[in-house]
Structure 1
């Protein structure tokens, strides 16, 4: 943590900044996994909505 003091004696703390890095484009395996996860999520939401409609 980086701390400075002004002329009145007030402390000012600065957080340390993390090292930056660029994201990498997902591999074809990751893309297919994301597609599968999206399909499962869509089915889950649809199923939940159908149950809510059926109960009401």
Structure 2
């Protein structure tokens, strides 16, 4: 962090910026895992909706 002082004596603190990097696309195994997690989430939400309809 570095600090600057303007002519009135006020301090300004600036945070250090993190180093930038490019994201990498997921490999085949990660893509299959994401697909499985998405399918499980859809089944879970569907079960919750059907349960709430059955109870009401």
TM range (shorter): over 0.9
Q: Which residue of 2 aligns with 1:39?
A: 39
Query: How far did residue 35 of structure 1 move?
Result: 0.3
1:5 counterpart = 2:5:
yes
Pairwise CA RMSD = 0.7
Separation (CA, whole Å) in 1 of partners of 2:4 and 2:38: 48
TM-score, length-scaled by structure 2: 0.93
Contiguous gaps of at least 5 residues in structure 2: none
Q: How many residues align?
A: 56
In 2, Cα distance between equivalents of 1:2 and 1:41? 46
Which ranges in structure 1 are unaligned for 5 or more consecutive residues? Answer: none
CA distance in 2: counterparts of 1:25 and 1:5, whole angstroms: 44
Q: Which runs of 4+ in 1 moved over 2 A?
A: none
